[in-house]
Amino acid sequence: MELPTTPSFRLDGKRALVAGASSGIGLACAVALAEAGAEVTLAARSTDKLAELEAALVAKGLAARSLALDVADVAATEAAVAAEGPFDVLVNSAGLAIHSPAVDTTEPDFDAVSDLNIKGAYFLTRAVARGMIAAGTPGSLINISSQMAHVGGIDRAVYAATKHAVEGFTKAMAIEWGPRNIRVNTICPTFILTPLTRPTFDDPVRRAWVEDKIKLPRVGQVEDIMGAAVFLASEASALITGSALMVDGGWTAD
């Protein structure tokens, strides 16, 4: 009997760009991809934090380099990606959340969240895809979305709107670039305990809401996203595109 061979989760020889790599989910994804064998370009606005992460990865014998990048600056992002690429993998974890009741949303807050979460994400994904297309190589483009791309949430009308939009352009890009073997997917985490979400977890009412919605008996940690990122970046997910990988502890199950 000839047995099937499990596709590799390894990323040896691959070049990965991780935006928003200076903290939280982005940092964890950068570590995961590097540990899987990728050469990782760490991108964020906070270059001091990037330098610290780069040094820690290199000290472990992993391949990493830093790149100052503001995803909200479309022209600068496109120029940087063109100069540094082509890449085989993108993980975009750059994002912004400004929460308020919908009746209190200000136009500047709306614009700030939209400019990064939708516009920035769209053009970063396109920039990396352009490099793949020019090089004639396959690739995996991953945007860190949210469970809020599939449900609503308290004080999160703008944030949820932007993440719903990410799911929309992910599906459209997946259709367009599928014939080139370029896959486009999202990872949709629940509330992950990071410095960004600390105010929510410090609010007893909000924490009770989160813990009631998550079906598993704990909240999320950044480690919960690391395997998902490696999976979608690797050949183990070779037939997956236009999809949202829910890492939500069962939040969206009902």
* Catalytic choice (159, 177, 191, 231): 159
- For residues 55-90, one letter each, b for 16 or more C-beta atoms within 10 angstroms of the residue's C-beta and e for the rest, the string is eebeeeebebebbebbbbebeebbebbeebbbbbbb
- CA nearest 33: which of 181, 126, 140? 140
Contact 139, 87 (CB under 8 A): yes
Q: How far is the C-alpha of 252 from the C-alpha of 254, rounded, in Å?
A: 5
Residues in CB range of 81: below 8 A, 6 or more apart? 17, 87, 124, 127, 128, 130, 131
Q: Which residues face 89 on adjacent strands?
A: 16, 140
Q: Which residues face 211 on adjacent strands?
A: none
Kindly list the distances between the CA atom of residue 82 and the CA atoms of 137, 179, 203, 205, in Å, as whole numbers in the listed order.
Answer: 15, 22, 43, 46
Q: CA torsion sign, 66 to 48 to 110 to 165?
A: positive
Other Cβ atoms within 10 Å of 116 Cβ, number: 20
Is 122 part of the annotated catalytic residue set?
Answer: no
Q: CA torsion sign, 232 to 244 to 21 to 183?
A: positive
Catalytic annotation, residues: 159
